[in-house]
Amino acid sequence: MESSATTTASSSTGPPLSAALPTGDYEVFLSFRGADVRKRFADHLYTSLARAKIRTFRDEEELEKGEAIESSLVLAIPESKIYIPILSERYASSKWCLTELAQMVECWKQGKGHIILPIFYFVDPRDVRKQQGPYQQAFEEHTTKHTPQTVNEWEEALLKVGKMKGWHVTESHGEGAVVDEVLSKVESHLRSMYTLVTDELVGIDTPVKEVMELLNLGSSTGKVIVGIHGMGGLGKTTLVQAVYNKICAQFDRCCFLDDAREALAKSNGVVSLQSKVISTVLKVNFQVRSVSEGINLIKDRVCKHKLLLIVDDIDDKFEFDRILGKLGDFSSSSRFIFTTRYSRALDFIPDCKLYEPREMSRYFSLQLFSKHAFGMDDPPEEDAGISEEFVKVATGLPLALKVIGSFLFRRERSFWEEKLIELQEIASTSENPLLKRLKISYNDLSPDEKQIFLDISCFFIGSYKDVLYYLWSDCGFYPESGITTLIDRSLMKFDEEDEEDRFWMHDHIRDLGRAIVKEEDVEHPYKRSRIWSFEDTLDMLRKGEVNIFLSIIR
């Protein structure tokens, strides 16, 4: 998704007008003495950050001296993640610059992840540390106008920042090169801050280490592709999310394509995936018009970067060359990871190293189950025996452990015993034991909750909640309590990387919902309550079939 390019920079001849401040969180706070660098270095740096879609705070206005610093500017500093003070010759003559710098240092000292990247613009870092040279006269004047406590805070801030590693702009080290280096460093820090949201990382350390060894990150002599395959519910997506979080800062660009199998099932699936790759890597909102255009753009604009590309949940319809182009066009430092339920899908990917995650050990299975069934790492002593039995029927599958544990949370002992017998029977007789185990949680929903669950699994994954709440309310359902129940049962959640509350559902739980609808009439899709397939819809319209029980069609 394209982010806004609001940039926070404070040019501090005076405080900014509050109306000039953008709202929302910032990634970079740029502080500088306007008269020194506004029209040159600061503007160049700001423009580069904005082009990279990095939200930076910059004050566009300057007020008359003597006016108190706006509280809104002071609030923008803790909101930002990275601080870039441009310490020029007259930086210390501005009380606004020194006030900003003191607050930056205070936020940095709190250890909450703030980073200071100082730029010494034609000043010696030693003069900054010791308030010598051009800084000496400025502080002589400050001591006559401000309290000793305020001056001491400014001196301490300059001492701290003057010792930090940064960039020294001189005649021999040009401004353009420094801007490029600063931008690269900021992007690297932000990648390490914006990690993917993962579920409970129980027992994940060893698999992460093994995948990282296969990626051979220390080598730049050739591209590496790793294919992770295994049955559904084994935790493949959680594994690659954890690997992504661990290594993303080592790459120039990173892209995570989720649910590729679902995307490719659509008529525009290939160009949709290509568009996401190009938009993510180039940080632009771009829509590919044809497959050939996508391949050419990837070759010309994407391949040159040191790239980490993860494609989650592919099947045998995924063709590397048709979607991404030729492997040989990519940088030799790039790395690729694919996950799939079908090992044969990896046969179509060149030079792919295979990795099959093992089922979760009994120890970690019990820990994951207990987190959801009891809200703690271990079961109470009196429930240890029956918990072990539930762990056995889940057969080391993280998704099953999570859903079953959530389903049993705060239930009576008799309920546990009854459901254990049911699960043991499923494990011994079912052709698809995972879906059958998950269906136990579905069966316990109220009729209204079942309808909401089926609607989401068939149509509304990725949709925003607000409009749908009105839809369900008009149908006589109670969406607020219904959604709460589905979340409590681990059957869905809201996308944690989206502020607009979009529905998210694990692909196996989505498959469960669609399988339930298909069971309504296996041979005749038009007789089902929901039709989500374009082909089924078209076939029904061509044949003129009518279904009075049809609830929703897409």
Give the single-character DSSP code of 16. Answer: P
In DSSP terms, which residues pair with 121 in a beta bridge? Answer: 169
Token pair 């072990």: residue: 388
Give the single-character DSSP code of 502. Answer: B
Helices 413-429, 433-443: axis angle to 10 degrees equals 150
Question: Under a CB-based contact definition with an 8 Å cutoff, are residues 364 and 393 in contact?
Answer: no
Q: What's the farthest any 2 CA atoms get from each other in the chain?
A: 90
Q: How far apart are the first and last CA of the chain?
A: 24
Q: What are the φ and ψ backbone dihedral angles of 241, each rounded to 5 degrees?
A: -65, -40
CA–CA dist 5, 25 (Å, integer): 12
Token pair 């954890």: residue: 242
Helices 479-488, 447-455: axis angle to 10 degrees equals 80
Question: Under a CB-based contact definition with an 8 Å cutoff, are residues 306 and 326 in contact?
Answer: no
**Beta-carbon count within 10 A of 166 CB:** 22
Catalytic residues: 100
CA–CA dist 273, 258 (Å, integer): 10
Q: How many residues does the chain have?
A: 554
Q: Any idea what the Cα angle at residue 13 is, between residues 10 and 17, rounded to 5°?
A: 60
**Beta-carbon count within 10 A of 520 CB:** 13
CA–CA dist 394, 361 (Å, integer): 11
β 493-494/503-504 pair status: antiparallel
Two structure tokens written together for 147: 């309290």
Picking from 85, 70, 76, the residue whose alpha carbon sits closest to that of residue 6 is 76
